[in-house]
Chains A and B, each alone.
Chain A
């Protein structure tokens, strides 16, 4: 079902979560006549056990799978993905429209006239309930970004039961706010949840800060009781298409349709079972045995098993992942910082990455080419002509050698190039680079996935063609994360700035693939200390302005400036029984799974 993680909260290791995408998402309905009923069993990704049913996780709860559990019951305002398109789904979103005024500082959200499963209407009070809880507990919300919702809201008004007016502290690009902010905000049933104890009465406790904290505290505590996920009456009040019917501590859970669902796609299936798996291997074995799973995934390392699965009655669909894969350079590492701060060196490094070969040989063709910050497969409408044409730095060892020579380097293909002309002139190596200094860098990456090993080895090999010596260092993902810190010009302690180049996998995008947080000065995802006033202005223009050309300007500038080195981003292979209809087209923002539109056919 929906697989979502906030970009700022977690970088996703490819080894664990290639299917993850942003926000919620839905598919368009399938075609043909739906056969009512039937049970579908869905394979979960390894270690995908949710542990919190309350849909507003605290900052300390990083279990990204909670959103998979909760979104089918409590969808978020903005439903990302319309069929295969990276666009807002107007049918499934909780609003009929959002109008902007006051120089894009005021958003008026017109809610749809939906009902909760207990028959009560979904109203603007349900929005203020969520807002009050978040505002009282900020920053203790996993999706909170400094300065963003709810702290950017100066006041909220509810002129009627289905209208919410948000007054914001600055102008926003409406597309950014709708796509990347409101996609994290669900509506929750104030009439059932606004209380401070299980046996206590429902009130308006959320309207004071202390009361809201007490309510949040109670809901967090109740929401973490896994044994009562499927039985607590509070969690039975839903506005999404599904309601939880069972939940086991091992992560197996089941949904049945919410018979009072107000949305357009009423579930046709009678039950959904989610099956946990410890490893990709166990999941693949279950698929190959052909009996237990209706749908699952095919790890790219096992793409050769496609034929076996088809013989077991499965079909395979490819899902482009909305995210950006990269190598992050640390511009303030004591040794490599002076090298990596030079654009021409980053350019040479990118020139030497044979991305087409990585796509074809390592990912069997199932990957975005990685030509820049915006994936061309997942965001065809937002990928610029430059990116679509292959990006500013197509694979070219000769171009890499030329740019290095032009800056005073003695290029030694297969060996280690060295700086010959130290200095700060236009044809010199650059400030901080000494004569005789070797062009040698350490690339750290997360271990445990064969394709990652192969990719880094390929990069090491191709970089050597212009004498760039890459020393590989693989570590378990969490170890890597724990030792890679943020480095800036002002702060670069040895304890967290020892890294030079790092490949974590990829960062997922929300529906609007903005660079905010990644490449702006001081951005929370800007580990390597990249800082460029031009980039900051371009990013601000995409986030706070409404110019449609601003996005391409930012995108092309980022593609050329290489705050990160761009890499191919592997796609995700979904496997499903051929008689399961409505499964495709796949929604990039839902982990490809939208069971409300599935049905069994002949």
Chain B
């Protein structure tokens, strides 16, 4: 396993370098003048010159890239053109907010979806299965912004029992100290994820329940609760592990719709606004962070496979 992890780490470095080259090149191929985009259409020639010089945009592209790599190696992602703040500071401010909101939502979604999927598999084609399937399809097909606005309209505007905004504190402690404000955004993200995860879990559990070793376990008199916990759950959860592993970069990248609707500026909004304003340093920094998290998420899923499935062994060719 150690050798495998070392090999994957080496691959990850190559992936990250490739990502940097690709992202840097693509971003600089965007149409339009960056300085004019940031300074506005009325920017004078002298202001554009000052801007380009300040950010090194008057240098050849390869020099800009070398300079950027040098910065990144030293932990410096540059300074946002539009926000005038270090990108690392902006990411440090936004990332924990997303990790908290999306992390809570993902955990809650798993807590609900896994037993729900197993329940539906056991009660396959029963009333309960049909009911939850209907709910899942409804939620899955519903645009997240619509669902969020619906919840706000009911619980904030009509009933006045929950605030329409997510917590406005900037620290994790401050956010957690305002649990009422967390309810609607967490509920939105959780229910939409449950719809997805429960379908994977149901499908996988149905397959597992049909396996011989389940019949053997039951024939040997193993209590149903243990059959479900030891055999069904452990074997059917692997697809969900894959999905969760792949969703890790999404957690890091933020949920732009939820951030917009619930007034909760996070990584998603930061990236979106940077994309619309040609704010290259933020685009590069965010892409790098999401790239690293993708590698980590993928690696974590592989490790989880090995833990959950004894047949999976890494490191021997």
Residues of A within 8 A of B (CB): 7-11, 47, 49, 51-52, 58-63, 139-140, 142, 145-146, 224, 226, 248-250, 252, 275-279, 281-283, 285-286, 288-292, 476-485, 496, 504, 507, 517, 524-525, 527
Is the beta-carbon distance between A479 and B259 smaller than 8 angstroms?
A: no
CB distance from A496 to the nearest CB of B (A): 8
CA distance A256 to B187 in the complex (A): 37
How far apart are the CA atoms of A342 and B65 in the complex, in Å? Answer: 47
Q: Which residue of A lies closest to B32 (CB)?
A: A482
Contacts between the two chains (Cβ within 8 Å), count: 152
Minimum CB distance partner of B51 in chain A? A60
Residues of chain A lying within 8 A (CB to CB) of residue B165: 282, 285-286, 292
Question: Nearest-CB distance from A75 to chain B (Å)?
Answer: 23
| B43 proximal to A (CB < 8 A) | yes
SS class, residues of chain A in contact with chain B: loop
Chain B residues near A504: list those with CB within 8 A: 41
Whether A249 pairs with B47 at a CB distance below 8 angstroms is no
Q: List 16 A-B contacts (CB under 8 A).
A: A9-B42, A10-B40, A51-B85, A60-B51, A63-B83, A146-B44, A224-B84, A278-B269, A279-B261, A283-B263, A482-B32, A483-B31, A484-B36, A485-B36, A524-B44, A525-B42
Given known A-B contacts A51-B85, A482-B34, A60 and B42 have beta carbons under 8 A apart: no
- Which of the listed residues B55, B156, B164, B260 has the most CB atoms from chain A within 10 Å of its own CB? B164
Instruction: Say if the beta carbon of B33 comes within 8 Å of chain A.
Output: yes
Q: Contact: A481 with B276, CB < 8 Å?
A: no
Q: Give the contacting residue for B163; candidates A8, A292, A524; CB below 8 A.
A: A292
Is B265 on the interface with A (CB-CB < 8 A)? yes
- For chain B, the count of residues having a C-beta within 8 Å of the partner chain is 48
Chain B residues whose C-beta falls within 8 Å of the C-beta of A146 in the assembled complex? 44, 46
A281 touches B157 (CB 8 A): no
**Which B residues are CB-close (under 8 A) to A507?**
42
Q: Decide if B262 touches A282 in the complex (CB within 8 Å).
A: yes
A-chain residues with CB within 8 Å of residue B84 when the two chains form the complex: 51-52, 60-61, 63, 224
Considering the complex, give the chain B residue whose CB is closest to the CB of A526.
B42
Q: Which residues of B contact A226 (CB under 8 A)?
A: 85
Do A139 and B261 contact each other (CB < 8 Å), given the known contacts A10-B42, A62-B82, A479-B32? no
> Pick the contact of A278 from B33, B54, B157, B263 — CB < 8 Å?
B263
**What distance in Å separates the Cβ of A402 from its nearest Cβ neighbour in chain B?**
34
Residues of B within 8 A of A482 (CB): 31-34, 36-37, 278
Residues of A within 8 A of B32 (CB): 478-479, 481-483
Interface centre among A139, A286, A291, A481 (most CB of B within 10 A): A481
CB contacts (< 8 Å) of A145 on chain B: these are 44
Query: Does B215 have its Cβ within 8 Å of any Cβ on chain A?
Result: no
**Residue in A closest to B84 when the chains form the complex, CB atoms:** A51
Instruction: List chain A residues, Cβ under 8 A from B33.
Output: 482-483, 485, 496
Most buried by A among B47, B50, B165, B273: B47
Q: A278-B263, A286-B164 are in contact. Are A479 and B41 (CB under 8 A)?
A: no
For B34, the chain A residues whose CB sits under 8 A away are 482
Complex formed: what's the CA distance from A285 to B260 in Å? 12
Contact indicator A281/B41 (Cβ below 8 Å): no
Give the nearest-CB partner of A482 in chain B.
Answer: B32
